[in-house]
């Protein structure tokens, strides 16, 4: 089971004159300018003018099961074991971040990441009010280099997310406002040709037009899988991702075989080992000149130094931007230089929930400069621990802005994990948005006794939800009836059945 449920803590922003100093000089980022470079408002204007005063900061393990294990050339992923970060500013505005943990791709394992998150959070809570730029610099000094890039990204996400709420602008607008929707590819891991064909058929039915195929463990099997996918989904574009699995000779052989089969990949990602610069350059040159295929550097581009080498020696055509390997600010720097150097961009991720994928999606949609979108990770999770946030609908990610979200509270598991009471969260929401009505959706987590106790506490504090949704387990008919009767007769609160109503039979019973 998932460790905890994330709450959408969307609040009406304060507009009083006491906040003028926090909004001084704020402007939105513009879109990519004519030279292909970022104008840098987020990294300059907000960093220099927005004053950050962190009241609370904490991290918790974020463990989520997968639908099935994901196998790539260099790693097999059995489950998600990430870290979620929550930061609350002085005005009650809350931001969320996520540090994806995937050794050996990330340098951190989960215990180390938890320790470094705790260190960064303690430092933020002790810090006096200072500009966003100074706060991010402080985070960078604690979480330096590639060794802590994933944790740094998670803390930066949470800070920037909180700031976006405080200034009343959704993230995709801060990052440029080009769009609030992106279309992703869908990944097929290393599986048998039969399984690959089945997955390709499923994804075709769901509307995915680009499939990303993990390759690099077995050259012959990779070709067989490609043939099976093309037969099952003949109209799809496809991306090959070798995750460093081939030698340069093997990578060129793959391209030659595909050419003979009249199959041309839209992109060939990280064909060789990350430090095989000569091999990467050789594959890039032959792929482009002989087969018209672009090569992407992923593991080979871990920062500005790597990017400069790639640009100077013409080693790749596309750079894969991943927040977990660069951090948010590092990613913006790499994006700017890559665009200025005439390279194309791809945005990807590790295996993350909608916290990290939503942030990356906001960045990609807002900037509008990515040729390839690979943000399909939520489709591979068997549970979704996030309430609200970005919406994943088939192949599209709808990036919900602050203004479009409804106030709904998905409670219980997160609150227990973080030692935060339901009442405190509702009080904070009411203070920030005194005129709002609210719905509590318990997702079957309460016993009937716990639910009634919560109703009593809410009544005593004059906090009355308009609806109390699925308080008890779906099959606890007696408990549901008990809560419904007491809620309606004693407190005037309606109780809704969600998971308990799966058809006419259940509706008649209700």
Total number of residues shown for the chain: 510
The series of mean pLDDT values per 10 residues for the chain, 510 residues long, is 42 31 29 42 69 95 90 85 95 93 84 96 96 95 94 97 88 87 92 95 90 93 93 93 96 96 95 98 98 97 97 98 96 96 96 92 93 93 74 52 30 33 62 67 80 83 79 87 89 84 70
44 with 159, same domain?
A: yes
Please count the structural domains in the chain. Answer: 3
| Residue 206: Cβ-neighbour burial (10 angstroms; 0-12, 13-18, 19+) | exposed
Residue 506 annotated as lining a ligand binding site:
no
358 with 234, same domain?
A: yes
- We report the CATH number of the domain holding residue 351 as 3.20.20.120
- We report the CATH number of the domain holding residue 61 as 3.30.390.10
Domain presence at residue 20:
no
CA distances from 136 to 102, 107, 423 (A): 24, 21, 32
Domain presence at residue 457:
yes
What sign does the CA torsion over 129, 135, 139, 141 have?
A: negative
65 with 156, same domain?
A: yes
Q: Which of 167, 199, 231 is the last residue of a domain?
A: 167
| Strand ranges in 72-132 using DSSP code E only, listed in sequence order | 76-89, 94-99, 130-131
231 with 360, same domain?
A: yes
Q: Which of 364, 398, 432 is the last residue of a domain?
A: 398
Closest to 31 (Cα-Cα) out of 180, 182, 176, 173? 176
Residue 269 annotated as lining a ligand binding site:
yes
Domain presence at residue 209:
yes
Domain presence at residue 5:
no
Domain membership of residue 155 as a residue range: 39-167
188 with 280, same domain?
A: yes
Helix (H, G, I), strand (E, B) or coil at 87: strand
Domain presence at residue 72:
yes
Q: Are 373 and 211 a contacting pair, CB within 8 Å?
A: no
Domain presence at residue 12:
no
Residues designated as active site: 214, 322
185 with 316, same domain?
A: yes
54 with 161, same domain?
A: yes
Alpha-carbon Rg for the chain, nearest whole angstrom, is 24
428 with 376, same domain?
A: no
Residue 44 annotated as lining a ligand binding site:
no
Domain presence at residue 286:
yes
425 with 454, same domain?
A: yes
Buried/exposed code over 472-484 (b: 16+ C-beta within 10 A; e: otherwise): bbeebeebbebbb
DSSP character string of 393-421: ETTEEE---GGG---EEE-SHHHHHHT--
Q: Which of 368, 398, 428 is the last residue of a domain?
A: 398
| Residue 147: Cβ-neighbour burial (10 angstroms; 0-12, 13-18, 19+) | middle
452 with 310, same domain?
A: no
Token couple for 417: 């994990």
393 with 461, same domain?
A: no
pLDDT value of position 23 = 29
Domain presence at residue 53:
yes
186 with 162, same domain?
A: no
């Amino acid at each position: 089971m998932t460790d905890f449920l994330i709450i959408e803590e969307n609040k009406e922003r304060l507009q009083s004159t006491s906040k003028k100093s926090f909004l001084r000089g704020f402007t939105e980022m513009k879109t990519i300018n004519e030279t292909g470079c970022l104008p840098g408002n987020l990294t300059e204007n907000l960093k220099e003018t927005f004053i950050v005063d962190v009241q609370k900061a904490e991290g918790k393990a974020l463990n989520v099961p997968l639908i099935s294990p994901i196998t790539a050339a260099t790693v097999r992923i059995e489950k998600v074991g990430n870290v979620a970060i929550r930061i609350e500013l002085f005005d009650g505005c809350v931001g969320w971040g996520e540090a994806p943990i995937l050794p050996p791709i990330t340098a951190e394992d989960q215990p180390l990441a938890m320790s470094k998150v705790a260190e960064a959070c303690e430092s933020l809570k002790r810090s006096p009010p200072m500009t966003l730029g100074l706060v991010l610099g402080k985070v960078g000094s604690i979480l330096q280099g590639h060794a802590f890039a994933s944790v740094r990204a998670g803390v930066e996400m949470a800070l920037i997310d909180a700031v976006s709420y405080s200034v009343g602008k959704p993230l995709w607008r801060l990052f440029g406002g080009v769009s609030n929707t992106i279309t992703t590819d869908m990944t097929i891991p290393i599986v048998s040709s039969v399984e690959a064909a089945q997955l390709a058929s499923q994804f075709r039915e769901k509307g995915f037009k680009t499939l990303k195929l993990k390759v690099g463990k077995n050259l012959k099997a990779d070709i067989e899988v490609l043939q099976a996918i093309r037969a099952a989904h003949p109209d799809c574009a496809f991306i090959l991702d070798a995750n460093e699995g081939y030698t340069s000779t093997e990578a060129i052989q793959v391209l030659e075989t595909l050419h003979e089969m009249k199959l041309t990949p839209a992109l060939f990602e990280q064909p060789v080992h990350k430090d095989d610069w000569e091999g990467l350059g050789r594959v890039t040159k032959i792929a482009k000149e002989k087969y018209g295929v672009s090569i992407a550097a992923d593991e080979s581009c871990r920062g500005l130094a790597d990017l400069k080498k790639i640009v100077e020696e013409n080693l790749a055509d596309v750079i894969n931007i991943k927040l977990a390997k660069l951090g948010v600010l590092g990613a913006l720097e790499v994006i700017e230089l890559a665009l200025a150097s005439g390279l194309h961009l791809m945005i990807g991720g590790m295996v993350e929930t909608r916290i990290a994928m939503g942030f990356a999606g906001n960045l990609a949609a807002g900037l509008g400069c990515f040729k390839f979108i690979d943000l399909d990770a939520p489709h591979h999770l068997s549970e979704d621990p996030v309430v609200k946030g970005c919406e994943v609908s088939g192949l599209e990610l709808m990036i919900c802005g602050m203004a479009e979200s409804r106030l709904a509270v998905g409670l219980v598991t997160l609150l227990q994990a973080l030692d935060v009471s339901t009442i405190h969260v509702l009080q904070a929401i009411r203070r920030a948005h005194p005129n709002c009505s609210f719905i509590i959706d318990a997702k079957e987590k309460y016993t009937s006794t716990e639910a009634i106790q919560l109703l009593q506490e809410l009544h005593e504090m004059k906090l009355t939800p308009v609806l109390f949704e699925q308080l008890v387990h779906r099959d606890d008919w007696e408990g549901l009836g008990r809560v419904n009767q007491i809620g309606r007769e004693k407190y005037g609160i309606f109780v809704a059945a969600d998971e308990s109503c799966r058809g006419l039979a259940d509706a008649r019973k209700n």
